[in-house]
Amino acid sequence: MKILLAGATGFVGRHVLKALSGAGHQIVATSRARQSLRLPGVEWRQLDLDTLATVPDHFQFPDAIDLLINAAGLLSVDEEQLTLTQDLGTRALFDLAKQAGVRVLHISALGAGGQPDVPFLASKGAADDYLMALGIPAVVLRPSLMLGAGGASSEWLARMSALPAIPLLDRKARLQPLHVDDLVDAILALVRRWPEAPLVLPVVGPEVMTLAQLIDQMRMSQGWPTAWFIKIPDAAAEFGASLGDRFGWRALNRQSLLMAQRDNMADPEVLETVCGYRCASLRDRLHDWPDPAQSAHLALRPLMLAVLALIWLGTAFVCLGPGFGWGLRILAEAGLTGPFAQIAVVTGGLSDGLLGVVMLIPRWRRRAFQAQLCLMAAYTVIITVVLPHYWFDPYAAVAKNLVLMVATLWLLRTEARR
């Protein structure tokens, strides 16, 4: 079968592409940017749904396509962007499929159409309704929360699973999470057994659970005991959500707060009745992911970054404030006194403060780490040569520089290149 796969580089799209290629289908895969990835039977083309929404001839629909699978989507709090990408651009793609006489399998989200106050789900629901009204052979899949390597939500849950105390927005809302492999297998089952009439199908796991139970399930798969969960006070959650809307946070915003407080369930037997496939339990799926080392890395890295920033900014505050005289006394031991000593203390404090601020800016973070390593190495060498007795400080103030250098080196090596 020749299949057009839209959104082939996203979380779901990557898994679907690999499965379809492995099953021997001929794939025309699309993404916003040019791709160099090579897979057997896969041809890449550029498609930007935002552009397609306003420029109908932006994308030339390939010839001889048997099925369009739309896995494109956007996780955002920008209502205009969601409408453009997930509704208008998606509608334009469906129109091209209708003109070509092609079947459509559209991947939506559970709850789409039923929650108009959630922009992500509202835009999905609008596109779902449009497709169902086109009068073409079509299936809309509405999966629940999906887990698996490479997903934004999955990465966030893996990070949370490594914490001993885990804050939650809600502890009562129920959901039926599934592994992304189950969605892929459901798609393959539908490709083999296409329904006679257009359908909207929920794709959910067989187990109903709360988010706390889901995270504990993930912890068990990594060999960890159950966690201690803390319900974030409603006022704090509302305040955090308002900040998230203002600054574009993906993990915490008004939209994510609403979804976290609501049940998200459906009948798992509906899918099985249509195509014969039933999702497996998470216990049977969580083997290779999440990885405990990776989860610990995701959880500890932002904590390490925050602690080191606090140390550098705190050192600047101490040097320029209550510890100014102490700094002068240390320099006096090294033979430096008077105005030059004062300049040295102020310069050192300002340098520490500047590096503490710059390390919080992603664009300059690698440079900040490199400068910090050089500065700490220089401090350590100078103290060793000029004031070696500080190595015998009972609090090991100088020796702890080595720990900070290792921590900084780890942050540098794990910092993504931009």
> CA-to-CA distance for 91 and 130, rounded, in angstroms?
7
Which of 237, 271, 290 is the C-terminal boundary of a domain? 290
Which of 239, 264, 290 is the C-terminal boundary of a domain? 290
Residues 134-177 have pLDDT tens digits of: 999 999 999 999 999 999 889 999 999 999 899 998 889 999 99
Q: Is the pLDDT of residue 100 over 90?
A: yes
Residues 189 and 337 in one domain: no
Residues 172-191 have pLDDT tens digits of: 999 999 999 999 999 999 99
Q: Which two tokens stand for residue 52?
A: 């397609």
Q: What is the amino acid identity at position 291?
A: D
- Per-residue pLDDT band for 79 (boundaries 50, 70, 90) equals confident
Residues 212 and 328 in one domain: no
Contact 66, 104 (CB under 8 A): no
**389: containing domain:** 299-414
Task: Count structural domains, the chain.
Answer: 2
Predicted local confidence at residue 36, as pLDDT:
66
Residues 272 and 243 in one domain: yes
Q: Is the pLDDT of residue 220 over 90?
A: yes
The candidate with the shortest Cα–Cα distance to 301, out of 156, 414, 160, is 414
Predicted local confidence at residue 212, as pLDDT:
95
Q: Which two tokens stand for residue 201?
A: 């199908």
Contact 109, 142 (CB under 8 A): yes
> CA-to-CA distance for 188 and 316, rounded, in angstroms?
59
Predicted local confidence at residue 286, as pLDDT:
92
With 0-12 CB in 10 A as exposed, 13-18 as middle and 19+ as buried, what is 366? Answer: middle
The candidate with the shortest Cα–Cα distance to 87, out of 131, 47, 32, is 131
Backbone region of residue 195 per phi and psi (left: phi > 0; alpha: psi in -120 to 50; beta: other values): beta
C-alpha triplet 44, 20, 60: angle, nearest 5°: 35
Residues 161 and 279 in one domain: yes
Q: How far from 279 is each of 20, 98, 288, CA to CA, in Å?
A: 18, 30, 18
Q: Is the pLDDT of residue 87 over 70?
A: yes
Residues 290-313 have pLDDT tens digits of: 999 999 999 999 999 999 999 999
Instruction: Write the DSSP symbol of residue 279.
Output: P
Residues 213 and 345 in one domain: no
Predicted local confidence at residue 141, as pLDDT:
97
C-alpha triplet 154, 122, 254: angle, nearest 5°: 60
> CA-to-CA distance for 343 and 404, rounded, in angstroms?
25
Return the SS3 of 64. coil
Cis geometry, peptide bond prior to residue 290 (ω within 30 degrees of 0): yes
H-run or E-run covering 157: helix 152-161
The candidate with the shortest Cα–Cα distance to 80, out of 59, 53, 115, 57, is 53
Residues 283 and 331 in one domain: no
Average pLDDT, the chain: 92
> CA-to-CA distance for 177 and 183, rounded, in angstroms?
11
Residues 308 and 283 in one domain: no
> CA-to-CA distance for 64 and 80, rounded, in angstroms?
34
Parallel, antiparallel or unpaired: strands 67-70 and 2-6: parallel
Outline where DSSP puts E strands in 74-148: 103-107, 138-143, 146-147
Residues 341-376 have pLDDT tens digits of: 999 999 999 999 999 999 999 899 999 999 999 999
Neighbour-count burial for 169-191, b at 16+ CB within 10 Å, e otherwise: bbeebebbbbbbbbbbbbbbbbb
Residues 278 and 387 in one domain: no
Residues 318 and 266 in one domain: no
Residues 251 and 314 in one domain: no
Predicted local confidence at residue 256, as pLDDT:
87
Q: Measured over all CA atoms, what is the biggest interatomic distance in the chain, rounded to whole angstroms?
A: 90
CB neighbour list of residue 102: distance below 8 Å, 6 or more residues apart:
4, 61, 65, 66, 67, 68, 136
Mean pLDDT score, 251-259: 85
Residues 165 and 63 in one domain: yes
Residues 153 and 17 in one domain: yes
* pTM, full prediction: 0.85
CB neighbour list of residue 402: distance below 8 Å, 6 or more residues apart:
380
- Per-residue pLDDT band for 56 (boundaries 50, 70, 90) equals confident
Sequence-ordered alpha helix ranges (H) in 251-393: 254-260, 269-275, 282-285, 292-320, 324-333, 339-358, 365-386
Report the CATH number that the domain containing residue 23 is assigned in CATH.
Answer: 3.40.50.720
Predicted local confidence at residue 187, as pLDDT:
96
Which of 242, 267, 290 is the C-terminal boundary of a domain? 290
